[in-house]
Amino acid sequence: MQPVYKRILLKLSGESLMGDNSFGLDPQVIAQYAQEVKEIVELGVEVAIVIGGGNIYRGMNESETGIERAQGDYMGMLATVINGIAIQAMLEKLGVYTRLMSALKMEQVAEAYIRRRAIRHLEKGRVVIFGAGTGNPYFTTDTAGSLRAVEIQADIILKGTRVNGVYTADPEKYPTATKYDTIGYKDCIDKNLRIMDMTAFTLCMENNLPIIVFDINQKGNLKRVIMGEKVGTLVH
């Protein structure tokens, strides 16, 4: 069997890298994610990754911290680069070629993001990790993921979460919530299902970019999605 997607963008939350810790990085979780990415790269899939920074810094209320929103967002962008370096290190340990590209200039750590160069890396079979969000405050890493996916002409966004799809309500709070196998963009908006923030979601909708929300912590799920198995929820 051949993979059903040629080029994907994998969106991971920073919190997913914490494992059972209350903050920071869990090396075992990162190693598992890296192994799963390696398996799909070996199938010929071109992989780009966007990671959040919530495990290191989550923008808090300005009145509580005294840090204004824009400065807090830049702190969050730096956190995503730290996470990107961690994923890069683990992938390279497994023999996977990678490139870390940053929307903020930091030449000693990462390449500056250039769209055509990113596409070239993907064509050469390198995993491209996009750090520092969009490079602008007031935008989330969900928006960065949607933007980069559109720019590199990805076939789909795979949003790895702690739950195995989109539900009628938060399944961690409401055990009776039911799961959608597929759902349309408009239904998500009408039902106020917070899959991504509205800017990110609208970008996907306007560009007909499908999203699969799935449980990244279930071993083998990433490969199952790539091979076309019904895993998680398809938003299209």
Burial of 35 (0-12, 13-18, 19+ CB in 10 A): middle
Q: Residues for the chain: how many in total?
A: 236
Question: Beta strand pairing status for 98-102 and 111-112?
Answer: parallel
Measured CA to CA, the distance from residue 199 to residue 143 in angstroms comes to 6
Examine the pLDDT at 92 and tell me if it is beyond 70. yes
Task: For residue range 185-206, list pLDDT tens digits in order.
Answer: 888 888 878 788 888 888 998 9
Per domain, the residue ranges of the chain are 7-235
Measured CA to CA, the distance from residue 208 to residue 235 in angstroms comes to 10
pLDDT on residue 81: 96
The mean per-residue pLDDT over the stretch 68-82 comes to 92
Task: For residue range 131-186, list pLDDT tens digits in order.
Answer: 999 999 999 999 999 999 999 999 999 999 888 888 888 877 888 888 889 998 88
Tokens of 6: 């040629």
Sign of CA pseudo-dihedral 164, 3, 93, 130? negative
Domain 7-235: assigned CATH number: 3.40.1160.10
Among residues of the chain, what percentage have pLDDT more than 90? 67
Examine the pLDDT at 60 and tell me if it is beyond 80. no
Check residues 189 and 114 and name the one with the higher pLDDT: 114
**Residue 61: pLDDT band with limits 50, 70, 90:** low
Residues 6+ apart with CB under 8 A from 121: 99, 128
Task: For residue range 28-55, list pLDDT tens digits in order.
Answer: 999 999 999 999 999 999 999 999 998 8
Examine the pLDDT at 3 and tell me if it is beyond 80. yes
Q: What is the pTM of this model?
A: 0.93
pLDDT on residue 63: 66
Among residues of the chain, what percentage have pLDDT more than 70? 98
The mean per-residue pLDDT over the stretch 207-230 comes to 93
The DSSP code sequence of 195-224 is SS-HHHHHHHHHTT--EEEEETTSTTHHHH
Distances (CA, A) of 86 to 9, 131, 150, 165, 195: 18, 11, 25, 26, 26
